[in-house]
Structure 1
Amino acid sequence: MHALHDYVAKQLADKIKSRRVVVWYDERGEFRPFVDEVRGGPRAASEPVTVGVAGIKASLAEYAGSLFELRAVVEPLVSGDTPDSVIIYVPGIARDRRASVLMEQEKAGTTWEPQLKQLAKNVLLQKYTLGVVDEMLPFDRKVSYEDLARAAAGNAGAEPPSILKSIFHDARGNDGLLTAWLVSDARDAEIVSKEATRELIKLVKARLGLDLAADSPLSKLRAIVLRYVLAGEFRLDLSCDAPASLDSVAKPPTKDEESAVRELARRLRTGHADTYAALADRVEEELGLKNAKLPSGALGAIDTFRFEERALLRHAGDLISNGKFGEALALVANREQSFWLDRDVSRKAQWEASRRMAELGNVAMEVRKAVNMTSGDPAAWLDAYVSKDGWFRLDQAQRRLEAWVANLDEEPEERPLGVVRRAHEDTCHAMAEGFTKALVKAGWTVPGALHQTRVWSEIVADKPKPVAYFLVDAMRYEMGVELAERLPKTSEVSVRAAVGALPSITPIGMAALQPGASASFSVVEQGGKLGARIDDSFLPDLASRKKHAAARVPKLVDLALDELLSLQPSKLTKKLDGAQVVVVRSQEIDHAGETGFTFQARQVMDTVIDNLARAIRKLAATGIEHAVVSADHGHLFFANDRDESMRTDAPGGNTVELHRRCWIGRGGSTPPGCVRVTASALGYASDLEFVFPAVSGVFRAGGDLAFHHGGPSLQELVVPVLTVRTRARESAPPSAGPIAASALPDVVTNRIFSVTFTFGGRQMMLDATDIQVRPLLVAAGRQVGAVGMAVDAQFDRASGCVRLEPNSPVTVAFLLNDEDVVSLRVVVQDPATDAELYRSPNDIPVRLGV
């Protein structure tokens, strides 16, 4: 036999295997020679005959003028519960889809209506390129089964086998061949020497509909085809008129050829990414598209050229600037997997900044609307702030944006950033104004709320011992919620809100968290110093508070967060041996904010949350499973210094202390926009008076006024109280497979850099599943950076975890949050156990700005 017979037989055999009964309509009688080949000669009788088709035995029944006779002939073969394998061949008539005499047989089995030219084309494409096949099988020329059989067999008179296929022997199909030619001129000399240029031109015409001049050099032909393909995809993706510079580039004439252009462009991007970038840049330059005046919203879903990504990012900025935050979020979501972004972490970082800007704007508008509709006592305001989807999300979105922007080498566009910052500030202003009015009206009490002075007596003291007590300076409520999300899923965690003591400054808030504060607590002046008094103890500073706690709590160990993280596990265990309460102090947030380094403070805030989670897990490994985390106060934090209009003159009088958000003293005046309250009204045994800005303004107190606290806003006064139980676990890596890292930097020169991780290897089981991991940056036992983005993977922004599929590389972008480190390691942890699944083999030097 021959290749065409074998191919047709294989298609027919598949039908028989699938349905047993095949009703084969051959309206033009094209396949009669094939049926004669199967039968072994001309038809000799009306009864069915047994034949072999590609190794399958079947009964062949043929139409000879009467469909009723044909149905009667095959009835005995198909009437049983399991019909025989039967081919019912019906040449010369068309199938009647509504009233076929053979309808019963068609429903019981299947119908087949093949086209001879199409089947022959499939066979011929195994030997020839598309252009040659189209010449052999022109649309308007009638060819017989015998003609096609000879061509498929390569007999005399047929076209010689494809020269191009022999040159591009490693390419799959016509599109693979064209792609290989477009990305490289390495085989041009062979194409010329073997006289295959004509065949290449035929292929381009047949597949893409593009006419090429046969006398042009291959380099010119390649440039023409590249422009045609890339400009074609770009034009097809536009929802507006194409720029005039594309008028000189031909258009694909048919829908099929448009699809071919799209497919070839896709293959270039996905299979030859590095080369594609250079080719696309060259075509973009040739067509002058950088300067094209196109509506950004009309650029479509595919970024063929680099300029599109930048134009769309500007469009996202314009949407944000005009308050269309939802539209901006949708645009960013649609572009997360753009070719250009996946290859350039710095550009992806700019899009991530736009996403965070749009999220902040969106939340600010939602919260502002809710604030305007809120009334009632302070408890109603507190509930609105701390509920599951409460107003604290505004603070969270703002911190995430500012932390991200602080790590960018190039800040986002000024206008959209300014718009969302203003939206945030305006909403904070409205929240502070409404909550302060409610506090004044309620006599400065929040009915039913947990007060900060009861945290020790009602929560810490009741915990099984040993227990860790984390005192985090300036951690606001939203940061506590995020800390809970970053703890292992196996931890038992609860978060509740406590109302801080006024004024919301460190000496007062930290004293309120001390033992005995629930029974006796006042804010007083003694010896010219401001502090809290618990019973007979005056607590103006850290030293006095440590002395007070040590006297009241037996077997207490007090250490700083940095010290805890830096200690080796064995030394930490020894230090904590016999301890009943371990006080862990963190001053990083307040220190960075108060020292006036606004930029550094924005970076530090995220790092502190990660390091607190790390410390809790580290203590659990030593046997201290229970922990309570709280704060002395929260904070208001803006990107820039307060405008002059937001600054207020101090009350004067007898000033004991002046802070940005509170005046403590006696007498003086109450400036416009401020509220005054006596210490006795707050329940303190003192003659002091306090004056606070009623909204989000500040006193003229010197220093950087971007970060401040001391007042009665929700952000300053509401602090988180986390109770955590983290059982110690074996730190053993999973047996599913190893994690490998590639593209590790030799030196870290930017705060944002990428690393590629691959989970698994050749030894992986075939049924291996994905795993969730936590990649991070570590230096001297501390976490100094985390993942900010991931390419081709699920990324949980709250927990910092990335999902890795077996043997699928995933690129993550790290954010370095501590600029003072001299070197770091890249670490991948199991988030459930803290077990290290990967650690970079050497310290990586950090030289920012190099």
Structure 2
Amino acid sequence: MIGNTVHPLHDYIATQIAHHLKSSTVVVLYDRNGDLKPFFGETGADPSIGGRLDKVRFGEVPANFTAFAGSFLETRLAIEDVTGGDDPERTLVYVSGTVWDEQGSLLMEVEKAGYVYRPVLKQMARIVLKQRFNDVQIDEILKSDAVGYDDLAKVASASADGENASILRGIFDNTSDAIAIIVRWLRGDHADQAIQDKGAVPELRKLLAVRLGLTLPDDTSLPRLRSVAQRHVLGSEFLLDTTSAAITLPGVSAPTTRDQIEAVRAVAERLRRDDADAYEDIANLVQGALGIDDLGIDGDAFGSIDTFKIEEFLVVGHCFRLIAARRFADARAIIEERHGSFWIERSQERSAVWQACRLMTDLGLVASEVQSTIAKANGTVKIWVDRYTDANGWHRIDRAQRELETVVQSCEEHIDEQALGIVRQVYEETAARMAEGFVKALAKADWAVPGATPQSRVYAESVAGSPKPVAYILVDAMRYEMGVELSARIAKVATEQKLRYAVASLPSITPVCMAALQPGAAASFSVVERNGKLGAEVDGTFLPDLKARQLFAKGRLPGSIDLTLDNVLQGTTKALASKIAGASVIMVRSQEIDEAGEGATSYARRMMAGVIEDLARCLTKLAGAGVEHAVIVADHGHLFFAHDRDESMRIDAPGGAQVGLHRRCWVGRGGATPPGAVRVSASKLGYQSDLDLVLPVGTGVFRAGGDLAYHHGGASLQELIIPVLTVRLKADKSGTNTKNQVEVQHDAAITNRIFTVRVSLGTTLFSVERPIRVVAVHAGRQVATIGMADMPREADGTIRLEPKKTVSVGFLLTDEEAKMLTVQVLDGNTDAILYQSKDLPVRLGV
């Protein structure tokens, strides 16, 4: 049988046996070479076991069946009862591996009473095949001694279905897919012996000639034929995908007919899809054999298919040149064509390079858009703020820059320096224009944004009247764009949310702005000097530092509790619920962004990438502990450039009676306002103080202590416009543990800053796609961020997981101090844990 269908060869042999049984009742069938054993196996009998009587059918004729297995006495005893009486039953005796001895057969008595049948397999097969093929074709099929019953059965079955005869198909699991046969043969020599033994080499040559346009002499060996065919397929695909007609490859002539072109492309694509490792080995060998590296081709000569590894390097180099020429849209078009490219997906390092390249175009395109609209913003300060905070506003340039710099940290050695330098320059130029225009508009409006919420009113307007308990999360240095990302991140785990902006207090430094977020600040808030120290005064209380603010808040809010982000993230939800039980206001402080920014630049980039996820996890944890309402707000934003400010961007301090000097602000009395800066009195800002503030107009910095790349304190949009996110949570429902609903693969240890996690749907529980979120955490905090994924991420950061597909997620380790981490897969709608790994040790450099 072929599958569950009886094939023509079986039917013919069964018919012949049935005829003899009907006419002679007892048939002794001699099969010298055992060719017909598979036939009898198809009837349900076992021709290898002797001394047993089975009931079988040959066509419509029922009969007894027994097989000779070395003992004729055993065979005679098996059939004696059914053949020895006056009315014998129809019985077939199968004798294999023995030549019939007409004079001395030990079954002579039975044979004389019945019929001796000595069929020849290939003679019967010829009769069956003549129904479709001519004698020449049949001779070609039958000429090899290695062609047996199963091969002929498959040929006969194929011919019955209207297909051509093919020994080759039988060798490759009877597939009728010629492309599949070629692909499997090209991958290795596992079938070569069968092809040789069964005489299928001519058929293989013909297949290659007809489908691929490849013709070789008849005496070419199979290994040589495979090597030439591999060069033909990959070389032809390469030539067909290039735009230069001048390129030639030794020994390769690309096919010209449409069918052969499509077949070459299909074979190459299936090689990549079905066995990526084998394809990589083949492609590297062919790349060397054809001298692809020495062709001197520019990256703009290729289409969208990367046949050889070198193409990916050349094309990304071309993209970098386009970026360096500020042709961002042209580079982006090429990058989009390369989505899902074989060579990019084979290496996380190369994926990171392409991700960086894409982010460079993102930044360039957004910067171009912002620059084109800045010139039209010469109106009120409110217009500047609205254009920054609109859904598609200027804040997008800050996120694009942050994401680019995060990824660049993992692969900067592979990034074209000129292209990266140009993109960074474009961002700095745009940020400078934004700062200059906004500060001038703000000064013209007497340092107030009409209709905007001052930072000092956030507690009164968003927290004081909120149902209790309420979480009040104060995030140091979170830019508005980060608030937008957080809002998108929690969209599915919050029942309600509203994102708006507020205007931070000046100077935009932590002691001042954190004080402005305290209860009571709406009624009385000033920036003052006390005993030579700069700080804020709320309702008559001087608040110069964290300890003072904590004591003040506790006095104003006796039912409050003060926690850090770490306090919330570490430990169990049950322990958190116990800790905050009875508290009306849960104040949560996050200083991670500012602390990282004031330190090493590369570490800050990676750290910032994880804060958004940490805040989202914090909200989920609080919801699980019974907190239904939350307000997330920043004290100020920040400017963060790739490198220290150039000497030309550094401004001399005003002098005079200095009270405080930071990179982006000077506070004191008197002195001279330096070029590139603007002076504003504290009284104009509404403070009960005789102090003056001097601020850079653009993105320059004062010659002062502090970081030269990361800074705040000034009046740019990035520093002054802060997010206020009011959220209603799904209390007691988020984060329900429903593990083992996805299948996850990852290494047992993390030995590289870039590592991969592969996720697919479980095999039994789900049949439809679902959103997921993959995270890497330690002690409740995110320690690695997603650098790239082979499926596009949604606006909320989730990935669509589809049935029968595996998603590869590339992570960038952000905390190299972590000694271990845990991989989690979360439900994209509820943050429920679908999978959690064991602790994975981090061993960088191993």
Q: Fold match, TM over 0.5?
A: yes
The answer to whether the 8 A contact 2:662-2:704 is kept is: yes
1:509 aligns with: 513
Q: AA paired with 1:846?
A: V
Is 1:229 equivalent to 2:227 in the alignment? no
Match of 2:671 among 640, 643, 668: 668
Give the secondary structure class of the aligned counterpart of 1:682. Answer: coil
Q: Is the 8 A contact 1:556 1:583 kept in 2?
A: yes
Greater mean deviation of Cα atoms: 383-392 or 189-198: 189-198
- Asked if the contact 1:407–1:817 (Cα under 8 Å) also holds between the matched residues in 2, the reply is no
Name the CA distance, whole Å, in 2 between partners of 1:153 and 1:577. 76
Which of 452, 456, 468 aligns to 2:459? It is 456
Q: Deviations over 1:225-245 (max 9, x none)?
A: 11111111111112222524x
* Partner residue of 1:176 out of 167, 180, 194: 180
The residue type equivalent to 1:639 in the other structure is A
TM-score, normalization: structure 2?
Answer: 0.79
Residue aligned with 1:546, SS: helix
Q: How does 1:767-846 map to 2 (within 5 A)?
A: 768-791=767-790, 793-796=791-794, 798-840=795-837, 842-846=838-842
* 1:239 to 1:560, Cα distance in 2 relative to 1, 3 A: same
2:691 counterpart (683, 688, 693): 688
Distance 2:263 2:828 in 1: 46
Which SS does the other structure have where 2:684 is aligned? helix
Q: 2:450 aligns with which of 418, 423, 447?
A: 447
CA distance in 1: counterparts of 2:256 and 2:695, whole angstroms: 73
Matched, 1:200 2:199: no
* Mapped contact 2:748–2:840 kept (Cα < 8 A): yes
Deviations 1:416-461 (A, max 9, x none): 1111111110001001101111112121111111100101111110
Q: What do residues 129-172 of structure 1 show as CA deviations (whole Å, max 9, x unaligned)?
A: 9x979x99xxxxxxxxxxxxxx98999xxx99544334334554
1:271 shift after superposition: 1.8
Cα deviation, residue 500, structure 1:
0.9
Q: Within 5 Å, which residues of 2 pair with 1:408-807?
A: 408=411, 410-491=413-494, 492-595=496-599, 597-730=600-733, 738-742=741-745, 744-761=746-763, 763-764=764-765, 768-791=767-790, 793-796=791-794, 798-807=795-804
Say if 1:683 and 1:253 are closer, same or farther in 2 by CA, change over 3 A.
closer
Q: Residue 45 of structure 2 corresponds to which residue in structure 1? A: none
Alpha-carbon distance change, 524 to 579 in structure 1, aligned in 2, over 3 angstroms:
same
Separation of aligned partners in 1, 2:504 and 2:292: 58
Unaligned residue ranges in structure 2 (runs of 5+):
1-6, 12-127, 142-154
Query: What corresponds to 2:844 in structure 1?
Result: 848
Residues 162 and 415 (structure 1), Cα distance of their counterparts in 2 relative to 1, 3 Å cut: same
- Quick one: which amino acid aligns to residue 833 of structure 1? T
> What is the identity, as a one-letter code, of the residue corresponding to 2:183?
T
Indicate the residue corresponding to 1:382 in structure 2: 385
The residue type paired with residue 814 of structure 2 is N
Residue 476 to residue 216, structure 1, CA distance change in 2 (3 Å): same
- CA deviations over 1:241-296 (Å, ceiling 9, x no partner): 2524x153233243322222222222222222211111111111111112322242
Cα separation, partners in 2 of 1:677 and 1:760, compared to 1, 3 Å? same
* Secondary structure, aligned partner of 1:795: coil
Inter-CA distance 390–559: structure 2 relative to 1 (3 Å threshold): same
Q: Percent identity?
A: 51
Partner residue of 1:216?
Answer: 220
Report the CA distance between 1:689 and its aligned residue. 1.1
Report if aligned partners of 2:625, 2:732 keep a CA contact under 8 Å in 1.
Answer: no
Per the TM alignment, residue 317 of structure 1 is displaced from its structure 2 partner at its CA by: 0.9
Q: Deviations over 1:525-560 (max 9, x none)?
A: 101110011122001001111111111112010011
Return closer, same or farther for 1:825/1:173 CA change in 2, 3 Å cut-off.
same
CA distance in 2, matches of 1:382, 1:169: 68
Q: Which residue of 1 aligns with 2:97?
A: none
2:157 & 2:725 partners in 1: Cα distance? 79
- 1:409–1:751: 8 Å Cα contact kept in structure 2? no
Cα separation, partners in 2 of 1:185 and 1:126, compared to 1, 3 Å: farther
Could you tell me how far apart the structure 2 residues matched to 1:823 and 1:168 are?
A: 47
Give 1:186's aligned residue.
Answer: 190
Q: Distance in 2 between matches of 1:482 and 1:184?
A: 49
1:402 paired residue number: 405
Contact kept? 2:673, 2:679, Cα under 8 Å? yes
How far apart, in 2, do the equivalents of 1:461 and 1:734 lie? 33
Does the Cα contact within 8 Å between 1:733 and 1:830 map onto a contact in 2?
A: no
Residue of structure 2 in register with 1:372 after alignment: 375
Q: How is 1:200-349 mapped onto 2 (pairs within 5 angstroms)?
A: 200-244=204-248, 246-349=249-352
Alignment of 1:117-132 (within 5 A): none
CA deviation string 1:695-743 (max 9, x = no partner) = 100011134310001111111111111100012243686989821112x
2-structure distance, mates of 1:177, 1:677: 79
Letter in 1 for 2:779: A
Q: For 2:527, what is the secondary structure of its paired residue?
A: strand
Amino acid at match of 1:592: A
| CA distance 1:562–1:524, shift in 2 (3 Å) | same
Superposed displacement of residue 681, structure 1: 1.5
1:829 to 1:127, Cα distance in 2 relative to 1, 3 A: farther
Q: Following TM superposition, by how much is the alpha carbon of 1:331 offset from its aligned partner in structure 2, in angstroms? A: 1.4
Q: 1:271 to 1:427 in 2, by over 3 A?
A: same
2:824 partner SS: strand
1:223 Cα deviation from its structure 2 partner: 1.2
Question: 2:645 and 2:303 mapped to 1: Cα distance?
Answer: 42
Length, aligned pairs only: 704
Q: Distance in 2 between matches of 1:703 and 1:542?
A: 19
Q: What aligned pairs does 1:144-183 form with structure 2 within 5 A after superposition?
A: 162-169=166-173, 171-183=175-187
Gaps of 5+ in 1: 7-122, 137-150
The alpha carbon displacement at 1:375 in A equals 1.1
Shift, 1:205, TM fit: 1.9
Distance 1:686 1:349 in 2: 52
Q: Distance in 1 between matches of 2:263 and 2:831?
A: 50
In structure 1, give the amino acid aligned to 2:579.
K
- Equivalent residues in 2 for 1:96-135, closer than 5 Å: none
Given that 2:620 and 2:735 are in contact with CA atoms closer than 8 Å, whether structure 1 keeps it comes out as: no
> Which deviates further from its counterpart, 730-739 or 621-630?
730-739
Letter in 1 for 2:762: G
> 2:739, 2:834 within 8 Å by CA — same for their partners in 1?
no
* Cα distance in 2, alignment partners of residues 126 and 846 from structure 1: 69
Bigger shift: 718-727 or 181-190? 181-190
Partner amino acid for 2:574?
S
1:36-55 equivalence runs, <5 A: none
Cα displacement (A) at 1:809 = 2.0
After the TM superposition, list the runs of 4 or more consecutive aligned residues in structure 1 that deviate by more than 4 angstroms.
Answer: 123-129, 151-155, 731-737
| One-letter amino acid matched to 1:847 | R
Counterpart amino acid of residue 557 in structure 1: I
- Asked if structure 2 preserves the Cα contact closer than 8 Å seen for 1:124 and 1:152, the reply is yes
